[in-house]
């Protein structure tokens, strides 16, 4: 019977939410990653947001490692890649939205220190519902492969 309590507690924690936040999002951050960048310059954040609940809207993000974070949409126009800021990014109910190279991304503006391979960039995503989601962008040379690293986006799984 010694194991009964911890197991029950862990199951409860999992059922409630994988996050510490008092007002956790129904949104899961899958494979958050970033690229190497110089201090003073701009970094980037990529992630797929998977919504297990009602429709919500990403309204912003912040990280202690940059002066501010903007949501940008990239598009090709006349052979030139352009970026336009977006104030709101809808995350459909039971749907997902991807921030990925060549498309949407989070721009980490005014980096306070360089981002090197293997670094982790903590950030908080804010949603119109009032929910927030903590993520850690792992600095990598290229996009992580799908698969076993599915859990990386869950910042506060019990025991991790």
Binding site for Cu ion (CB under 5 A): 72, 83, 107
| DSSP structure class, residue 72 | E
Of 107 and 157, the one with the shorter C-beta distance to Cu ion is 107
Dist. CA 153–CA 23, nearest whole Å: 17
C-beta nearest to Cu ion: residue:
72
**Distance, CA of 110 to CA of 43 (rounded, Å):** 8
For the chain, the farthest-separated pair of C-alpha atoms sits apart, in whole angstroms, at 68
Return the number of the residue (42 or 59) whose C-beta is nearest Cu ion. 42
Nearer to Cu ion, 38 or 83 (CB): 83
* Nearest distance, CB of residue 83 and Cu ion, angstroms: 4
Compute CA 43 distance to the chain's CA centroid, rounded to the nearest angstrom.
Answer: 14
Smallest distance, Cu ion to C-beta of residue 86, A: 10
As beta bridge partners, residue 99 has 47
In the complex, what is the shortest distance from the CB of residue 38 to Cu ion, in angstroms, rounded to a whole number?
Answer: 16
Q: Indicate the residue among 83 and 87 with the shorter CB distance to Cu ion.
A: 83
Q: Closest separation between CB of residue 78 and Cu ion, Å?
A: 18
Question: Could you tell me the smallest distance in angstroms from the CB atom of residue 142 to Cu ion?
Answer: 18
Backbone angles phi, psi at 47, to 5 degrees: -170, 155
Burial of 135: CB neighbours in 10 Å, binned 0-12, 13-18, 19+: buried
Q: Considering only CA atoms, which of 125, 63, 135 is closest in space to residue 88?
A: 125
Q: Based on CB atoms, which residue is closest to Cu ion, 8 or 83?
A: 83
């Amino acid at each position: 019977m010694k194991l009964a309590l911890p197991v029950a507690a862990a199951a409860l924690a999992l059922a409630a939410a994988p996050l510490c936040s008092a007002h956790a999002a129904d949104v899961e951050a899958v494979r958050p990653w970033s690229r190497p960048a110089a201090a003073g310059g701009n970094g980037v954040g990529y992630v797929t947001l998977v919504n297990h609940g009602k429709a919500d809207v990403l309204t912003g993000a912040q990280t202690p490692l940059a002066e501010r974070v903007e949501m940008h949409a990239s598009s090709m126009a006349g052979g030139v890649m352009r970026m336009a800021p977006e104030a709101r990014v809808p995350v459909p109910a039971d749907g997902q939205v991807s921030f990925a190279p060549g498309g949407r991304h989070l721009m980490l503006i005014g980096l306070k220190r360089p981002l090197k391979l293997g670094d982790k960039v903590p950030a908080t995503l804010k949603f119109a519902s009032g929910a927030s989601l903590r993520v850690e962008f792992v600095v990598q040379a290229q996009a992580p492969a799908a698969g076993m690293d599915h859990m990386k986006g869950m910042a506060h799984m019990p025991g991790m």
